[in-house]
Every structure is written in structure tokens, then in C-alpha cells.
Structure 1
């Protein structure tokens, strides 16, 4: 139903009808500020204010970091930050895993805590009997060759000649062995008596993974080498290397001493570990 001409004039008159907005002093009723307004002016002012407010809010969100707080919003910068954080987390997890393995190895060396390995003694005995029943007479040339090879490989830590050529063990000190390797008493080392203040040398190239003081064994230094080999030097008077240092075979790393509760005189307590298990050092190093 269309409006009549009179109704349109009435609506226009209402929109253009003037009103006065007056601000008075409550006590004196003195007029302070007054505004002449029409309903049309009010509608226009409110509409413009709303448009400006929406525009400012849009600009504020679009060009400031506030947009990152909007749920579901994703930007290239945020994705890159998330990727970098994930990569750093993975790297830290790898470092923690490596450190845990290293700490486990150090703990074994310091405490001598080993897992018991069970062998089938009956099967070993049967094999020995079978071999004993076989009689083989080696030739003179074969005997000479065997003696030569045994002399060359006396201190070979590895099974193949190729690997042993790449890796040799240097005697940390020279002296008399007063206590040998004994797994029954959990003495996984050799005690070498030498002159006090004699230099202790690295048995092979490697990285120092522990260099500190312990109550039982005094100044201790532990070196990690290639082929899962670890050497430990205990009861030192002082240490010349720190954790993380790279050392060469024959390089001085400590001074022979008599530190710690488990010592009765100046000597070097030397341990050799391979794949987390102790092995007898005199089989691979000549301390004389």
C-alpha cells in the first residue's frame, strides 16, 4: 500500500523537525551547551559513526598482530614459526636421547652396574669335547705363520686386520699392575702403580664426556672413542682436560695421584669399556 502525499510530507516534517539538546547546570539551571538537531541529522551521524567504527576495526585487525588472536586465522609467519618450533623440538628430543645414552654409559663406568649375561654352559662343554676329539697336526709353515699373526695381533681390539689398522690403543701410563681385571669382585679395571705426579695419557683419540670429582675415586676423567669404546682414568691428582674437549692418543689428560676413598697409594685405576661392557685392558695394552 503506497503512502499518500500527505503522509510523505508528515514523515519528512518529522525528520526535519528541529530539536534542541541543552546541557544545564543542575544547581543553577544555567545553560552551558546547546545543540540544534533534527532526527535526520541524528540518523546520519549514527550511520557515519558506525561506518567509521567498522572501518577502523577492520583496519586494526587486518594490519596489526591482533589478527593472530582470531580463532581459525592462519598466516605464513605463524606457520613458519610453528615449523621452526617443531624442528627445534625434534632436535632437542634427539639431543636428549643422545645425552641419556651417554649418561647411561658414564653411570655404568662410575658404578660398575652390569646386566647379567647367561650362557649355556652345557652347549659350550659339548662343543669343546667335539673339538678335542679331532686331531689335527699343523705343518711347520703353518705353525710359524700362526706365531707371527698372534704376535702382531696381541693387542688387537678388533677382529679384522683392517679395523685394527685404523685404531690402536696407547698405554696411559707405564708401571706395575698390582690389581688386575676381576669380574667376580667387580673390579673392572687394572690398577697400575707408577711414580706420583706421572702424566696420564689418553689411550686413543676421543672426546672427554666426564671430568669431575667423585668421593670414591677422586678426580675422574672418561673419554669416548670411536667403535663404541670408552676409557676411564680414576684416582688422579688433577685433571688437565674438561668435559667436551677433544684429545689425541698419547696426549696428557691428568696427573697420577691418590685421591678418593677407594685408594691406598698413588696409582692409576684404568678401565676399558666396549659397547657398554667392561673388557680386560691387559689384553690390548702393554703397561710395561
Structure 2
């Protein structure tokens, strides 16, 4: 026990033993500066200096652009650019998916392709069908008067025949004889209107030309995009008056009747209407007489 205490005392004396650090002029040996030091003072001062140097280095790296020069450390600018590129990439993916769906709809329109698992919309409302025998359908006096007034007003309405249940007004593209009507069983999603060659074909509504090219099967084809997801398609034309990207107005001439394409058997217009990717019967909206 006494040896341990003696050893501790010796160590303490060594740590606290005073030393004199003198700086002399080498030529004259004149004393310039002198310091009284001990091992303890040197250890504490050195430790504090190292700690301060480490703290200063950390602050310098954390709050100055010098950190960007450290290998493997990404800069704030690069992080910001990477984030912006990620957002742009996500937006491009969404836009690409939308474009692919849009082009797929155009492909279906050109080929007349409809999936077999298409939902029959009329069947969705069968459960709400009301039996007419349970309702008194005899019109009242006020109803008869109102019907007479509406009929008189519609008699002078030029667009009455082209107004559907949603209020859409469609212009007659071509007047003529219908040689073949809309038939889903034979996959003829159009009406064929026979008319003299070079007769003008008009746009059914305001829209934009999204396709105006030649195809082997259907000859000169022009497709117009209208509002609310409506597309009008004109095939077997003799010539096209509009190009892709052109803006057209309802009733404006977009093509002429022809007999082009392998599937054509004479001068006529093969006319289709598509709503949100589904073919609809043009005769429900347009009178071709």
C-alpha cells in the first residue's frame, strides 16, 4: 500500500514538476522569451488546442462550401438538381403514359379495334327500369300545351336534328345514301355514306386535326379531336384539305369524297364517332339525309 502511494506521489511530482522553456538569440545567446511549464500544463494546453482545432474544422466543413471538396460528399447544388430531375422524371413518366394511352386510342380508331370485354352500359341501368304499366302515362292538359309550344319552336330550329341528350350540336359531314350502318356484331363501327366523287366533307364540330395521312386499307384518313373526348374519323377520302395540327370549325371542309384504300368499293365516306375510346353510332347524333 505504501509503495502504491509512493508511486502515485512520484507521478504527481513528475506531472507538476516545473520546467523552463527558454528562447535564445543564437548569435549572442541573449534570452528572448522564457516559459515556465510542467507536464500537466503541456498536456492540458495540447488537449484544448486539439479539441479547438477539431471543432473549428467541423464548423468550417459544415457551414462553408469547402465541404464540397471532400471526396464522396455531394454538394447542395447537386442535391437540388437531383431533386428537380426526379420531379421532372415523374412528370415525364405520367405524360408518357398519358400519351401512350392516347396513341393507343388513335390506333384503335384507325383499326376499328374494340376489346371484347367492353362493358354494356345499358345493362348497368336495367335494375332501375320502371314498368310502364304501373304508371299513368296519359298527358295532362298543361303538358299537352307545353309540348305544342316546344314543337312549334323546334320547327324553326336548324340544329334540332343534331342535338343529342347532352346538348352537343354536330354538323352533318355529308348528305347522301347510307349503304351500311353501324353494326357492332360485324365490327363495322361506322356509317358508310354514298355520295358523288369529290363532294365536300365537312367537320362535324370545332376541333383539331390530330391525324391526316394515307393508309393502305382506308386510303386518305383524317381524324379530328373535339371537346369532351370526342373524335370524328373520315376514311376513304379522295383528298385532304387539312393537315395535322390545323384548327377547324364546324362545317368547314376537311376532305372530299373518294374511293381510296383497299377496303373501298366505290366513292363513299366511312364516318366514325368515338367518345372516350368507345365507338358510338353516328346515326344517334347526325341525320345524313
TM-score bracket, shorter-length normalisation? 0.5 to 0.7
The 3-state SS of whatever aligns with 2:209 is strand
Match in the other structure for 1:93: 93
The question of whether the paired residues in 2 share the 8 Å contact of 1:178 and 1:192 is answered with: yes
- Counterparts of 1:69 and 1:237, CA distance in 2: 70
The question of whether the paired residues in 2 share the 8 Å contact of 1:154 and 1:283 is answered with: no
CA displacement at 1:189 relative to structure 2:
1.0
CA displacement at 1:210 relative to structure 2:
1.9
Task: Give deviations 1:45-100, integer Å, cap 9, x for gaps.
Answer: xxxxxxxxxxxxxxxxx89xxx6793122132x23432442343233223212211
Task: Give deviations 1:176-232, integer Å, cap 9, x for gaps.
Answer: 222111222221111111121122221111122222222221111111111111111
CA displacement at 1:112 relative to structure 2:
2.3
- Counterparts of 1:270 and 1:252, CA distance in 2: 15
CA displacement at 1:140 relative to structure 2:
4.9
The 3-state SS of whatever aligns with 2:162 is coil
- Counterparts of 1:120 and 1:268, CA distance in 2: 29
What does 1:45-124 align with in structure 2 at a 5 Å threshold?
70-76=71-77, 78-114=78-114, 115-118=117-120, 124=126
Task: Give deviations 1:220-246, integer Å, cap 9, x for gaps.
Answer: 111111111111100012223233332
- Counterparts of 1:105 and 1:126, CA distance in 2: 32
Match in the other structure for 1:206: 207
What does 1:1-288 align with in structure 2 at a 5 Å threshold?
70-76=71-77, 78-114=78-114, 115-118=117-120, 124=126, 127=129, 130-143=131-144, 145-146=146-147, 148=150, 154-159=161-166, 164=167, 167-288=168-289
TM-score (norm 2): 0.64
- Counterparts of 1:69 and 1:239, CA distance in 2: 65
CA spacing shift, 1:281–1:120, aligned 2, 3 Å = closer
What's the RMSD between the two structures over aligned residues?
3.2
The 3-state SS of whatever aligns with 1:227 is helix
- Counterparts of 1:211 and 1:175, CA distance in 2: 23
TM-score (norm 1): 0.65
Match in the other structure for 2:35: none
- Counterparts of 1:224 and 1:100, CA distance in 2: 16
